[in-house]
């Protein structure tokens, strides 16, 4: 909704972020390479027996607040959608072998965030625009994806 405020057009674009978390095992290992090459490129992340992380997932949608509710979108419903279509598939799982949308892909945080975007997009209601996803692999390493 746009309205005139004095002589200026005021936009009410608001960004709403829901934070969820999951933990999982993975390894960075390219099956097309030798073990030596994997260790050279991925270091200890290539450990064949896996390692793991607590992932923090930030999902940001954008839009203008509904005049009746004041909500951009019900944050609880957003949480429900994220949990059903993303967290259920990832939490306490082995990302390399148990997650359908990652099969055949390298389990980097970069690929994971793109996969999460593709999982979520079809399940968001009309009018809810997905703006960005931020995914922390550790407190000091995170990636962002904006659907570009």
Partner 1 sequence: MKVGLYMKEVNKKVAVFRREHFNAAHRIFNPAWDDAKNAEVFGKCSNPHYHGHNYELVVKVTGVPDPETGYVMDMKVLSRITKEEVLERFDHRNLNLDTVYFRELNPTAEHIGMVIYDLLRARIDPALELQVRLYETDRNYVEYPA
Catalytic residues, which ones? Answer: 45, 92, 137
Among residues 12, 30, 54, 118, which is the contact residue for partner 1, using CB under 8 A?
54
- Does 93 contact partner 1 by CB under 8 A? yes
- Does 79 contact partner 1 by CB under 8 A? no
Kind and range of the H or E element at 133? strand 129-138
Number of residues that bind partner 1 (CB under 8 A): 22
Among residues 49, 69, 122, 126, which is the contact residue for partner 1, using CB under 8 A?
49
- Does 30 contact partner 1 by CB under 8 A? no
With a CB cutoff of 8 Å and minimum separation 6, the contacts of 71 are 65
- Does 35 contact partner 1 by CB under 8 A? no
Stretch of residues binding partner 1 (CB under 8 A), selected from 32-40, 45-53, 103-111, 114-122: 45-53
Chain centroid to CA 74: 19
Among residues 10, 11, 75, 97, which is the contact residue for partner 1, using CB under 8 A?
97
| C-beta contacts of 79-88 below 8 A and 24+ residues apart | 79/18, 79/20, 81/120, 81/123, 81/124, 82/18, 82/20, 82/57, 82/120, 83/20, 84/123, 85/119, 85/120, 85/123, 86/20, 86/22, 86/57, 86/116, 86/119, 86/120, 87/20, 87/22, 87/57
- Would you say 92 or 123 has its CB closer to partner 1? 92
- Does 24 contact partner 1 by CB under 8 A? yes
Among residues 64, 92, 118, 127, which is the contact residue for partner 1, using CB under 8 A?
92
- Contact between residue 146 and residue 139 where contact means Cβ atoms under 8 Å apart: no
CB of residue 50 vs partner 1: minimum separation in angstroms?
4
């Amino acid at each position: 909704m746009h309205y005139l405020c004095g002589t200026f057009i005021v936009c009410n674009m608001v960004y709403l972020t829901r934070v969820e978390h999951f933990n999982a095992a993975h390894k960075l290992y390219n099956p097309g390479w030798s073990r030596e090459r994997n260790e050279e490129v991925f270091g200890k992340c290539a450990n064949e027996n896996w390692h793991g992380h607590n992932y923090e997932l930030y999902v940001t949608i954008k839009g203008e607040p509904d005049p009746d509710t004041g909500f951009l979108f019900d944050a609880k419903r957003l949480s429900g959608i994220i949990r059903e279509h993303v967290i259920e598939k990832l939490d306490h799982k082995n990302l390399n072998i148990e997650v359908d949308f990652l099969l055949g892909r390298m389990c980097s945080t970069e690929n994971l965030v793109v996969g999460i975007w593709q999982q979520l997009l079809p399940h968001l209601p009309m009018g809810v625009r997905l703006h960005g996803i931020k995914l922390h692999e550790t407190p000091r390493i995170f990636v962002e994806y904006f659907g570009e």
